[in-house]
Amino acid sequence: MQPILLGYAMSEGLDCMTQEDANRLTHINIAFGLIRDGLLSMHNLPNLKEQLARIRAMNPALKIVLSIGGWGAGGFSLMSRTQEGRDAFKESVRKVLDEYELDGVDIDWEYPCNDAAEIDCDPSDKQNFTYLMQAMREAAGPDRIVSIAAGGGDYFVRDTEMDKVAEICDYIQLMTYDLNWEYKVTRHHTSLYALENSYPEGNADYCTKLFHNAGVPMEKIVLGAAFYSRKWQGVKAENNGLLQPTETLGGYGPRYSDLEENYINKNGFVRYWDDHAKAPYLFDGKDFISYDDEESIKAKCQYILDNGLLGLMYWEHSCDPTGKLLKACYDNLRG
């Protein structure tokens, strides 16, 4: 079986999807449904039916899945603490899947047992996450997709029962991006491997092995790529900016199309390649930008093929309207 190629798409991403994009993808995750008063709400996606009709006409074979949650989206913990809460949410999900004729549901709870995003949480989230995923399987039935997006760190494995969750899900998507941004030192936010002789965690290879050791089969792992960047400012001008102290954390940087137009070997920024981590970065003497490009995506695709992973996913489709990164994903994974 060929690997899957999955793109997360917010409303803007759905609007800019082309015929060529639709033919290259196997799956789309619509971002996001939200939880309101313990039930699934679609108020965040007012034009979805029209958008779906256009995309389905371009490629009827596409699997279109609703992702629920996202960073800062709460309601999971309170809803999942009781059987009654889970049952009510399950029925609301079932109705939406039927109404929109969707191919499945993806839970993006960021994160169980964790209030970093200032959402509700509780120690019981660890077991309740498993119960919630079982409820999603009941809502979807045996023929629809059930998946999760998992944070790429030890905390997510510690705070969930990944062996049980993996049995319920068709696949587990590893968010192997947004890594290492919370430190005032320049590192890669979406590299394949670790920096040489430094920081073994915070990379796709580490995350893959972490989740596999927690009970997730390799053939159920979908690796993540970033179509956007992270940017550190006030960087010490040594070692081309890599592994240097900074004045800021790694905040969100430009999306890929903007990087290509205004940053990559332009306006004082120089592109460097970390061959050990298989990751590019930009530095202009004071600002450091970490991102994925065609070369790093090629390395990730080869890793997926070599290690028997299920496929590749990326966040988020509108970040590269040129289609260059999606073409690199397709050519190296499925072409």
Catalytic residue numbers, as ranges: 110
The C-alpha angle with vertex 226 and arms to 220 and 230, in degrees rounded to 5, equals 135
| CA–CA gap between residue 150 and residue 215 (Å, rounded) | 14
Burial of residue 127 (CB within 10 Å: 0-12, 13-18, 19+) is middle
| CA–CA gap between residue 203 and residue 190 (Å, rounded) | 6
CB atoms within 10 A of CB 158: 13
235-261 burial: b if 16+ Cβ within 10 Å, else e: bbeeebbbbbebeeebeebbbbbebbe
Pairing of strands 228-232, 288-290: antiparallel
Q: Please state, in angstroms and as integers, the Cα–Cα distance from residue 86 to each residue in 2, 39, 137, 247, following that order.
A: 35, 9, 12, 44
* Close Cβ partners of 21 (under 8 Å, ≥ 6 residues apart): 7, 317, 323, 326
Long-range contacts of the stretch 259-267 (C-beta < 8 A, 24+): 259/229, 259/289, 259/291, 260/322, 260/324, 263/289, 264/293
